[in-house]
Amino acid sequence: MADATHIRAKSPTDVGTILSAAGRDGTPVVPRSSTGPARIGRGAAGGDEILLDLSTLDETVVVDRRNRVAIVEPGVTFAGLEQRLEPEGLRVTHPLLPTPGKSVLAAFLDREPPLVPKYHWDMTDPLLCAELWFGTGDRFRTGGAAGPGDTLEEQWAAGMHQKNPLGPAQTDLLKVVQGSQGTMGVATWGSIRLEVRPQLTTDHAVCADELGPVADFVHGVTRVRICDEISIFDTAALRALGQAVGSPIEPVAEWTALVRIGSLPFLPEESLEVQTHDAAAIAAAAGVGLAAGSDALPAGFLDAALGVTSDHRWKVPGAFRDVFFLSSLDTAPRLAAIARERWVGLGVDPATVGTYIQPLDQGRSCHVEITAFLDDSTTDLHAGLDADMPDLTRELAAAGAFFSRPAPAAASSVYARCPDSVRTLDLVKTILDPAGILAPGRLWTRSGK
């Protein structure tokens, strides 16, 4: 495949100009915000396409402590944003070990799973509002950012801080663009919901050989919204995580929930004490212990594993294979077993297959990510797994997995399950991208195309 035309956007209005021109010419446009190797199947642009590089738009437009919000352009990375937030006593809830070049905006446009379930009120969080550009070349600002007030400055002066994540009015086009992997629109900035950074934290681990008791614990604490970061790993995934952060860890049980409890802004010591006490009681009721991090984890483990500033990669670019989806926490092990068995059947060493479960939506569901932690020496195996991906996806979906963020390689299997949705997506695509220039064919195939 010939290289795509690489265009760096110099300003948001550039994006509109480029899309307008591409629309006239019928030239496909693939937007890209992050830099460096993609972790999860970013679509490649081909020779007759424009690769619209948004990473040059890298301004953090505002960080607002009082309103707990930041506005970031696509090129702002988690590490970059973190540097701006820490002095303000704020934080962004981020996905697990974002790559150094990972765009904050792209991550949340793709609904990547953040680590703190209690702050995940909706699947769209923490993305609030955005400046969007459609395939028509039109600009549209969503949610509270739509106005009234033509500029951000005018809105700020009126007390509006791009905090309403819905609308405007009776449609919500950011929701259509979010998850669309560039097929419905391009964002040139987004407002991100922030949280107050805890003054104090304690680290813990909850371990058991069956997921059940760990799940009981997670259900218990997320139900009452205590504990901050909560992520669950099986042994292989935890080992891989340890290696990635340079802190080897030998799991003591098949399943480990890494738990960090953070203080709340008022009476921090007491808030930590109360949360820890309640979390311990919930753990005890679940038949597991809330082990102190100092006992159960290598020193500094969670600082590294939950951070954004390091150069850690827990998956070797190009070598690993993974499959991820949403499910209920209790269903996750059964679904993970399907992937594991299938991959083992294709020759993967079972010791290299790991499962990471990220509770979402305040614990009502979870992101399940099953990874074959392979290296570059297994090319044939890669080909086999790649060829099998559509079938694996079909089998998992039939067993209840929901591929809310389908990887392009398996998208046809995913969309085959929801023809009604596809018909409706076609209608929406016709509105937002009538010429069909935005990442064509990346997710579903339009009827008649």
Residues numbered 428 to 447 that lie near another protein (CB under 8 A) are 428, 430-431, 443-444
Omega before 168 within 30 of 0, i.e. cis: yes
Beta strand ranges found along 29-177 (DSSP E): 29-32, 50-53, 60-64, 69-72, 90-91, 127-133, 139-141
Secondary element (H or E) of residue 265: none
* Cβ proximity to another protein, 17 vs 430, nearer residue: 430
The residue (of 238 and 332) whose beta carbon lies closer to another protein is 332
Paired with 52 in beta bridges are: 7, 31
Does 260 contact another protein by CB under 8 A? no
CB 334 to another protein: min, Å:
13
Sole binder of another protein in the list 192, 233, 403, 435 (CB under 8 A) = 403
Instruction: Select the residue interacting with another protein from 37, 248, 265, 347 (CB under 8 A).
Output: 265
Q: Which of 143, 146, 147, 110 is nearest to 128 (CA)?
A: 143
Using CB under 8 A as the binding rule, the residues of this chain from 13 to 52 that contact another protein are none
Which residues within the stretch 408-427 sit at the binding site for another protein (CB under 8 A)?
411, 414-415, 417-418, 420-421, 423-425, 427
Q: Cα(291)–Cα(115) distance, rounded to whole angstroms?
A: 19
Instruction: Tell me which residues in 83-102 interact with another protein (CB under 8 A).
Output: none
Tell me how far apart the alpha carbons of residues 171 and 143 are, in angstroms, rounded to a whole number. 10
Considering only 274, 337, 381, 409, the residue that binds another protein (CB under 8 A) is: 274
* Residues 6 or more apart in contact with residue 390 via CB below 8 angstroms: 409, 410, 412, 413
Q: Give residues 292-311 in contact with another protein (rule: CB under 8 A).
A: none
Binding to another protein (CB under 8 A) within 119-138 occurs at 121-124
Q: Which residues pair with 233 in a beta bridge?
A: 256, 356
Shortest gap between Cβ of 396 and another protein (angstroms)? 10
Closest distance to another protein from the beta carbon of 182 (Å)? 10
- State in angstroms the smallest separation of the CB of 298 from another protein: 30
Helices (H), 224-322: 235-244, 268-286, 293-296, 301-305
CA distance 328 to 359: 9
In the complex with another protein, which residue's Cβ is closer, 314 or 356?
A: 356
Residue bearing tokens 């990547």: 112
151 is a site residue for another protein (CB under 8 A): no
DSSP, residue by residue, 322-354: EEEEEE-TTTHHHHHHHHHHHHHHTT--GGGEE
Shortest separation between residue 85's beta carbon and another protein, angstroms: 15
Binding residue for another protein (CB under 8 A) from 219, 313, 382, 394?
219
H-run or E-run covering 258: strand 255-262
Total residues at interface with another protein (CB under 8 A): 98
| Subset of residues 173 to 192 that bind another protein, contact rule: CB under 8 A | 173-181, 183-184
Supply the minimum distance, in Å, between the C-beta of residue 355 and another protein: 17
Instruction: Classify strands 29-32 and 50-53 as parallel, antiparallel or unpaired.
Output: parallel
- Return the closest-CA partner of residue 342 out of 356, 329, 323: 323
Site for another protein in 230-259 (CB under 8 A): none
- Give the integer Cα–Cα distance in Å for 1 and 28: 15
Quick note: the x/- pattern for another protein over 336-375, rule CB under 8 A, is -------------------------xxxxx----------
Site string for another protein, 60-79 (x = CB under 8 A): ------xxxx----------
Distance CA 405, CA 427 (A): 20
Nearer CB in complex with another protein: 161/340 = 161
* Closest approach of another protein to the CB of residue 68, in Å: 7
What's the min distance (Å) between Cβ of 131 and another protein?
Answer: 10
Q: Which is nearer to another protein, 217 or 373 (CB)?
A: 217
Minimal distance, residue 398 CB to another protein, in Å? 8
With CA atoms as reference, report the closest residue to 263 among 251, 254, 276, 272: 272
